[in-house]
């Protein structure tokens, strides 16, 4: 689905677009489909660097996600300036990613948020939100922790998206 066809568009961003952001894309896509709103969303992911562009998600992340019933089939790409204008909501996995996005945007924007700000215990306190740790150099538990955080953030993220779509022009 293209941006123009969707009611709301969400872009997940991490550094290389091979672990955290493809997991965010895949987990949130399934959450939205379970809610019956898959046709109203355009969901994608990107990285702040181009090092892994063209690669599939990290094998370890794909395997951890598959054990929970998720398919991660995105191909890594670097975030573009155009993405900042085209996506309704851009979800950064950590403060470094958020700073890189703000730099690309020329400053903070309301559509740039940390994934941790959608966790139920941080609703209304986005500045205190935790970062999603990068599991790339760690062991298997790190990939599970990333998936745990994303799953816990999905309901809050979904609610925020429904608010965005309420105010979108059809």
Q: What percent of the chain has pLDDT over 70?
A: 91
Domain residue spans of the chain: 8-166
76-104: pLDDT as tens digits = 999 999 999 999 999 999 999 999 999 99
- Residues in CB range of 55: below 8 A, 6 or more apart: 18, 75, 76
Q: Which residue in the block uniquely carries the two structure tokens 């660097």?
A: 49
> What mean pLDDT is predicted for residues 110-134?
88
Close Cβ partners of 160 (under 8 Å, ≥ 6 residues apart):
89, 113, 118
Check 29, 58, 134, 161 and give the catalytic one: 134
Has 152 been annotated as catalytic?
no
19, 20, 62, 100: the active-site residue: 20
Q: Residue 2 above 90 pLDDT? A: no
What CA–CA distance (Å, rounded) separates 166 from 170? 9
Residue 134 annotated as catalytic: yes
CATH topology of domain 8-166: Rossmann fold (3.40.50)
**CA-to-CA distance for 17 and 116, rounded, in angstroms?**
18
Choosing from 14, 19, 154, 161, the catalytic residue is: 14
Measured distance CA(78)–CA(14) in Å, rounded: 10
């Amino acid at each position: 689905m293209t941006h123009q066809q969707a009611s709301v568009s969400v872009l997940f961003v991490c550094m290389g677009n091979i672990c955290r952001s493809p997991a965010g894309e895949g987990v949130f896509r399934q959450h939205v489909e379970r809610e019956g709103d898959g046709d109203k969303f355009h969901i994608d992911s990107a990285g702040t660097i181009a090092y892994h562009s063209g690669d599939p998600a990290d094998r370890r992340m794909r395997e951890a996600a598959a054990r929970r019933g998720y398919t991660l089939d995105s191909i890594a790409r670097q975030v573009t300036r155009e993405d900042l204008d085209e996506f309704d909501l851009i979800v950064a996995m950590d403060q470094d990613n958020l700073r890189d996005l703000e730099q690309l945007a020329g400053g903070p924007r309301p559509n740039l948020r940390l994934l941790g700000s959608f966790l139920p215990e941080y609703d209304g306190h986005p500045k205190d939100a935790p970062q999603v740790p990068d599991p790339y150099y760690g062991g298997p538990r790190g990939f599970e922790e990333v998936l745990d955080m994303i799953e816990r953030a999905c309901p809050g993220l979904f609610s925020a998206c429904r608010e965005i779509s309420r105010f979108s022009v059809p």
